[in-house]
Amino acid sequence: MKTKVLFTTALLAMLTLSSFAQEKEKRFGFEVSGGASFATRDLGGTDLKFGFGGEGIFHYRFMPHAGVYAGWGYNTFTAENSFDGADTDYEETGYVFGLQYKHPIGMSPVSYYVRAGGLYNHIEIENEAGDITDDTGHGFGWQVAGGVDVPLGRNWSLTPGLKFNSISGDITKESTTTELDLNYLQLRIGILKKF
């Protein structure tokens, strides 16, 4: 009987301490990331060169391994020749939001994460002088991402990973409408501060 009482007391103490430890983990975070982007298909018949972009997102963890994120992103590609002229830039900018799942890898301090969410972005076309010649207007798209969270100490982490974005919009010029489907993969690296 004493063994059962001692075992039950020890088990309750461990569960209580682990719940306190989880509550000490920071629930909020801010992450800045960026990297090289590679279009997975032509954009309105235009062959895009590799691009570059970044995001700034806020995190909120509402369960031990699950949370939400929201922020702003930017990505740019160049093209030598396109339906809109020579030496054009295609810039995708707007908002990101979604769900995140993060879990430790074994007993290590390193965690993996996966994200799935939405975009509310638009695609702007700029000529070689930097003037905006066309804009799709904001529309909805989607995003998936995954990677690892490597703690650096004092609530800082390195967050390398992969991201895939998909957004569509239309450009109308001289009564001709061109559908733009921007799909790209980004190799990204970020830094996360938890607070």
- At 166, the pLDDT band (50, 70, 90 cuts) reads very high
Span 3-27, pLDDT tens digits: 555 555 554 444 444 444 445 678 9
Give the 3-state secondary structure percentages of the chain, helix then strand then coil, rounded to 5. 10, 70, 20
Percent of the chain scoring above 90 in pLDDT: 66
- At 85, the pLDDT band (50, 70, 90 cuts) reads low
Mean pLDDT calculated for residue range 57-85: 90
Span 31-61, pLDDT tens digits: 999 999 999 998 888 889 999 999 999 999 9
Task: Check residue 177 and give its pLDDT.
Answer: 84
Question: Residues near 7 by Cβ (< 8 Å), separated by ≥ 6?
Answer: none
Cα-Cα end-to-end distance for the chain: 45
| Neighbouring C-alpha atoms within 13 Å toward the C-beta of 84 | 29
Dihedral sign, Cα of residue 22, residue 156, residue 146, residue 72: positive
Question: Residues near 112 by Cβ (< 8 Å), separated by ≥ 6?
Answer: 102, 103, 105, 146, 147, 148, 149
Per-domain residue ranges of the chain: 27-194
Q: What are the φ and ψ backbone dihedral angles of 127, each rounded to 5 degrees?
A: -80, 180
Is CATH 2.40.160.20 correct for 27-194? yes
Q: How far apart are CA 19 and CA 64, in angstroms?
A: 10
